[in-house]
A and B are shown apart, each in its own frame.
Chain A
């Protein structure tokens, strides 16, 4: 049998149910791995005692035949999900000392189904970033290295801690969130699978808000099937989130294994960017060939407003962030820096509490919403957003899913691409459209670049059709046979 930390989530579930392994030994293996690989800085806080207590309860339930679908499965939770009694930081100084007295709906759903809590993973501050270098708790190290180059690479962001923890085998799966690519980009950078489901599929309640019309929770894991299993538990209607969709949650994993014969796959010509790295283009071609061989038909499609998606995002997301982050006032929770007046206290608290990227985005958002500029920026962006969504509506008339690269490059070194904010923003060029249109998108590892680093392909589907997205991703997974492992991992 493989080492406990090398198991896929689905394999562990079977072994637990057959009582071939115990939840306690599974949890212990992961708790030890987290401690041993703390240099990755994937966790802001590990919760070994909680994990062992959860595991003991899981073993009892398995013994009594009362196991839930995730009974005894050790998971990591992005530190953007509020967890009752466990500090929640959003990677920011401004939430220093904050311990939520409530549990996010998504994490509560996982505990309901028997999962074991390993701790809270690191992230870009308030999920704003593509490199996990904006966290107040330090950058996360990607477990992968370039061949013959020992420099630390970024794991991507914002869900960099979750991605690194999954890749390094510190957990069997993790929660993450995706506002512009924050699940899919780090998944691609770490050779893991991550899906951003349809907007409204997972409740936002109890997740620290960044841009509410774009934020969506999803799982990261080491296989398509594992993500499908996790998403089923995470998803579901929640009256506490006004945009939660009252739509039945299918058994996503049951959609797997039926093949993709006859599916129509769209390849958007606007994603062939000028200067697209040849390796990325080649990977995309390979993905097209795999799906063709699996019985799909391939169709060139046009999403004419693609090039405007990122600038649209960088109006909409900061605008919503500037409103959402107005709650950090130093009065009700978190950091407080005293001032002579209430305004002075606000300014001191927020000046010290927010990092540079968060501050930039709040200021952009404040500006585009301010009197005299609202129509020129914010309203204009909402109109372009409508056109981007319309592009996809048109595409769905002729295709069932869309195949694109997940990212324009593989993981970069810490410090690279940080000369100016816009260069960093371009990381999300392939992922952000799905957020603006509210569509499900998955990143699945499909190969290695010349430096030995993982690359991902993205599959985007119709709203509430994650099943097709999972099926196509599974076909890529099978064809790619991705078996490379990161240099830094548990048991290595």
Chain B
């Protein structure tokens, strides 16, 4: 199966990556090349196989259900490109509601 130009634009939108119109054709070629190569997995009979999601065969641990945010507001905000509000206590984003 081959991806058309519209699908490339849709994937870029889903991934929130701006892709120039002049880049669509190149990406289309590259992604189709990779997907065509991946298609060989269809040769493998996987009926009844339990999918393996991780390399660790150990069961995931439970942790205590406790607030562990560390109370480190300033450290969390330290790398923000733009801050807003009293003491710059919030991340700033473009207006999302009118």
A340 within 8 A of B: yes
Q: Mark A319-331, 1 if CB is under 8 A from B, else 0.
A: 0001000100111
Q: Mark B15-33, 1 if CB is under 8 A from A, else 0.
A: 1111100000001001101
Q: Mark B29-69, 1 if CB is under 8 A from A, else 0.
A: 01101110110111110100111111111101101000000
Q: How many residues of B contact A (CB 8 A)?
A: 52
Within 8 A of A (CB), among B47-97: 49-58, 60-61, 63, 72, 75-76, 78-82, 91-94, 96
A199 contacts across to B, CB distance below 8 A: 54-56
Contact present for A341 and B94 (CB under 8 Å): yes
Contact present for B61 and A367 (CB under 8 Å): no
Contact present for B30 and A245 (CB under 8 Å): no
Contact present for A383 and B51 (CB under 8 Å): yes
B75 contacts across to A, CB distance below 8 A: 101-102
Minimum Cβ distance to chain A for residue B30 (Å): 6
Q: How far is the CA of A335 from the CA of B82 in the complex (A)?
A: 10
> Which stretch, A25-33, A284-292, A308-316, A477-485, touches the partner chain B?
A308-316
Contact present for A363 and B49 (CB under 8 Å): no
Q: How many residues of A contact B (CB 8 A)?
A: 73
Task: Choose one: A308, A331, A344, A345; the contact of B44 (CB below 8 Å).
Answer: A308
Q: How far is the CA of A352 from the CA of B61 in the complex (A)?
A: 38
| Contact A200 to B58, CB < 8 A, known contacts A347-B17, A384-B46, A422-B34 | yes
Contact present for B30 and A387 (CB under 8 Å): no
B51 contacts across to A, CB distance below 8 A: 379, 382-383, 385-386
Contact present for A360 and B58 (CB under 8 Å): no
| Contact A384 to B41, CB < 8 A, known contacts A351-B19, A362-B15, A438-B56 | yes
B61 contacts across to A, CB distance below 8 A: 239, 242, 246
Minimum Cβ distance to chain A for residue B33 (Å): 6
A8 contacts across to B, CB distance below 8 A: none
Contact present for B40 and A366 (CB under 8 Å): no
A47 contacts across to B, CB distance below 8 A: none
A421 within 8 A of B: yes
Where chain B touches its partner, the secondary structure class is loop
B31 contacts across to A, CB distance below 8 A: 360, 363-364, 367
| Contact A383 to B49, CB < 8 A, known contacts A200-B56, A342-B94, A364-B31 | yes
B72 contacts across to A, CB distance below 8 A: 101
Q: How far is the CA of A335 from the CA of B80 in the complex (A)?
A: 9
Contact present for A422 and B46 (CB under 8 Å): no
Q: How far is the CA of A348 from the CA of B54 in the complex (A)?
A: 33
A227 within 8 A of B: no
Minimum Cβ distance to chain A for residue B44 (Å): 5
Task: Choose one: B13, B27, B38; the contact of A314 (CB below 8 Å).
Answer: B38
Q: Mark A358-370, 1 if CB is under 8 A from B, else 0.
A: 0110111011001
- Among B52, B60, B93, chain A packs the most CB atoms within 10 A around the CB of B52
Q: How far is the CA of A445 from the CA of B93 in the complex (A)?
A: 51
A99 within 8 A of B: yes
Chain B's closest residue to A212 (CB) is: B54
Contact present for A362 and B17 (CB under 8 Å): yes
Q: How far is the CA of A326 from the CA of B16 in the complex (A)?
A: 9
Q: How far is the CA of A420 from the CA of B34 in the complex (A)?
A: 9
> Could you pull out 5 A-B pairs where Cβ atoms are within 8 angstroms?
A97-B79, A243-B56, A246-B58, A359-B27, A383-B50
Instruction: Give A contacts to B, CB under 8 Å.
Output: 97-99, 101-102, 199-200, 213-214, 239, 242-243, 245-246, 305, 307-308, 311-312, 314-315, 322, 326, 329-336, 338-348, 350-352, 354, 359-360, 362-364, 366-367, 370, 377, 379-387, 389, 420-422, 435-438, 463
| Given A99-B78, A331-B81, A342-B93, 20 further pairs, Cβ under 8 A | A101-B75, A213-B53, A243-B58, A311-B40, A314-B38, A331-B80, A331-B93, A333-B80, A344-B94, A351-B18, A354-B17, A359-B19, A360-B27, A360-B31, A362-B17, A367-B31, A382-B51, A383-B52, A386-B50, A438-B57
Instruction: Give B contacts to A, CB under 8 Å.
Output: 3, 7-8, 11-19, 27, 30-31, 33-35, 37-38, 40-44, 46, 49-58, 60-61, 63, 72, 75-76, 78-82, 91-94, 96
